[in-house]
């Protein structure tokens, strides 16, 4: 049986694999595996979520935790991601791929004429969210072992970035640890060389650097790939590597990493001061695995990051300038980490009728330990950033392209803070329509 849909990208048809070989395919490899001779491919994925959080949402819940210990719960509906894939095979090894993503319902802006303000026209923000061109690239495939991709591409560092589609994790929202400390989904403009040989899949990328102006105490480099400008600044550069080894049927082990400079990779570039004196080197290393077999799915990852010159970021010009779009006054940590593991068992595998109908019901558990501020820069502590999280729940698959999810989770913070339990319910799909 050919591989089920796992990710977005374009690959020549000869790269189609069987589920006996591939535990999981990287987020750079899939549209052409599903077009079956068609030149045009259309697909996507989406998520709808309902959450009830049994903790305070007050802005001072960490600075004055005792005052908010008994605050009422709060709820929300959300559309975390709604994505459209478009791919086209031009022939002779040339392919094109795009991914347009609407996060949290996208954005909405309108104009209104304010009669009580002298009839002035005003622009109103109707809705928060993002609309992004998450992928746009052209690829030349020379063979299964050698492909060159140029454009806006996914950076496959960590388990979440390489496998970020909603059927690749059990929780309603993306795994929290990696989603906190790393860009997610991490996508930047650059060049990628990738291929597959035997049991190995490999990729090397040359990218625009991250922007240290966007680093924060609560998210580390999470916002570093974002740009408020009409272009990505590439005064500094970065490189990413990934190697996946398909050890035995159903088991994949991956290693990935990133290195690049971040201070001074902003616009306009200040020729004096901190911006020119320091590099802000970012180094990230990640180990992850996926196992699928005997009615079990088990996934895990460990990520560790280092930021050079972290203590100097507070004094970078754009972070101090009240008119810039950054204005991050908090210190940033030299180190950050995220560790997580989840396991689920298909209960319907034991019921012959449901097994024959290809329905699945996974009961799962997940544990995470992460901290975007693992080093106290200049003896400044943000103790609420240290989180241990558990989640237990179910995933019901009436069809292979659809998952109905429900979970109870709890964040365990340090003793001086209040823990953060919640209930999340969601439904997600992932598929190709053409």
Q: What is the pLDDT of residues 207-252, one digit of tens each?
A: 999 999 999 999 999 999 988 777 888 999 999 999 999 999 999 9
Which domain does 92 fall in, by range? 13-107+144-432
pLDDT at 30 > cutoff 50? no
Whether 3 and 23 have beta carbons less than 8 Å apart is answered as no
388 pLDDT tier (thresholds 50, 70, 90): very high
What pLDDT sits at residue 226? 87
Q: Is 31 among the domain residues?
A: yes
The mean per-residue pLDDT over the stretch 32-50 comes to 77
pLDDT at 32: 42
Residue bearing tokens 């395919």: 25
| Contacts of 356 by beta carbon, 8 Å cutoff, 6+ apart | none
> Angle at Cα 185 formed by Cα 180 and Cα 188, nearest 5°?
120
Q: What percent of the chain has pLDDT over 90?
A: 70
CA distances from 87 to 8, 182, 199 (A): 9, 27, 26
What residue ranges in 294-373 does DSSP mark as E strands? 296-307, 335-346, 360-371
- Which CATH number characterizes residue 60's domain? 2.40.160.10
Flag whether 132 is in a domain: no
Instruction: Please report, rounded to a whole number, the percentage of residues in the chain having pLDDT higher than 70.
Output: 85
Residue 113 lies in a domain: no
- How far does CA 195 lie from the centroid of its chain? 22
| 59-109 per-position pLDDT tens digit | 999 999 999 999 999 999 999 999 999 999 999 999 999 999 998 877 765
Please give the Cα distance from 22 to 45 (Å, whole number): 21
Using CA atoms, how far apart are residues 295 and 361, in angstroms rounded to an integer?
10
Is residue 54 domain-resident? Answer: yes
pTM: 0.88
Render pLDDT for 260-296 as a digit per residue (tens, 0 to 9).
999 988 887 777 777 788 999 999 999 999 999 999 9
Tell me whether residue 133 is in a domain.
no
Query: CA angle, 85 as apex, 83 and 91 as ends, to 5°?
Result: 170
Question: What's the mean per-residue pLDDT of the chain?
Answer: 87
What is the predicted pLDDT for the residue at 89? 93
- pLDDT score for 432: 87
Cα angle 85-91-97, degrees, rounded to a multiple of 5: 20
pLDDT bracket for residue 425 (50, 70, 90): very high
Q: Which of 123-132, 192-201, 280-289, 349-358 is predicted with the least confidence, judged by mean pLDDT?
A: 123-132
Establish if 34 belongs to a structural domain.
yes
**In the chain, how many domains are there?**
1
**Considering the domain boundaries, does residue 124 fall inside one?**
no
Q: What is the pLDDT of residue 124?
A: 57
Is residue 121 assigned to a domain? no
């Amino acid at each position: 049986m050919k591989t089920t849909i796992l990710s977005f990208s374009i690959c020549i048809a000869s790269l189609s694999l069987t589920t006996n070989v591939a535990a999981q395919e990287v987020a750079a490899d899939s549209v052409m595996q599903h077009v079956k001779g068609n030149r045009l491919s259309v697909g996507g994925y989406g998520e709808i979520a309902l959450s009830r959080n049994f903790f305070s949402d007050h802005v001072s819940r960490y600075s004055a935790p005792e005052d908010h210990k008994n605050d009422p719960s709060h709820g929300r509906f959300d559309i975390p991601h709604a994505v459209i894939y478009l791919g086209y095979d031009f022939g002779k090894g040339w392919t094109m791929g795009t991914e347009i993503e609407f996060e949290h319902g996208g954005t909405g802006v309108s104009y209104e004429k304010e009669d009580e303000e002298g009839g002035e026209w005003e622009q109103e923000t109707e809705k928060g969210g993002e609309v992004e061109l998450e992928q746009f690239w052209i690829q030349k495939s020379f063979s299964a072992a050698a492909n060159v991709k140029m454009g806006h591409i996914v950076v496959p560092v960590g388990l979440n970035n390489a496998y970020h589609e909603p059927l690749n994790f059990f929780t309603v929202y993306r795994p929290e640890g990696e989603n906190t400390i790393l860009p997610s989904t991490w996508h930047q403009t650059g060049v990628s060389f990738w291929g597959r040989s035997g049991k190995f899949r490999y990729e090397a990328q040359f990218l625009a650097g991250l922007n240290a102006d966007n680093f924060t105490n609560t998210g580390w480099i999470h916002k570093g790939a974002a740009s408020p400008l009409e272009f990505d600044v590439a005064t500094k550069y970065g490189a990413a590597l990934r190697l996946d080894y398909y050890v035995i049927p159903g088991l994949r082990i991956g290693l990935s990493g990133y290195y690049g400079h971040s201070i001074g990779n902003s616009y306009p570039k200040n020729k004096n001061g901190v911006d020119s004196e320091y590099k802000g080197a970012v180094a990230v290393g990640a180990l992850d695995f996926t196992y699928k077999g005997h009615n079990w799915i088990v996934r895990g990852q460990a990520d560790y990051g280092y930021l050079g010159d972290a203590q100097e970021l507070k004094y970078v010009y754009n972070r101090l300038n009240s008119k810039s779009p950054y204005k991050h006054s908090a210190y940033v940590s030299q180190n950050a980490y995220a560790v997580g593991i989840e396991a689920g068992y298909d209960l319907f595998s034991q019921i012959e009728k449901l097994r024959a109908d290809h329905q699945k019901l996974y009961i799962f558990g997940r544990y995470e330990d992460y901290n975007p501020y693992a080093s106290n820069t200049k003896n400044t502590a943000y103790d609420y950033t240290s989180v241990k999280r558990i989640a237990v729940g179910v995933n019901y698959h009436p069809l292979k392209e659809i998952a109905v999810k429900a979970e109870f989770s709890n964040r365990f913070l340090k003793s001086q803070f209040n823990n953060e339990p919640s209930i999340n319910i969601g439904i997600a799909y992932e598929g190709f329509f053409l």
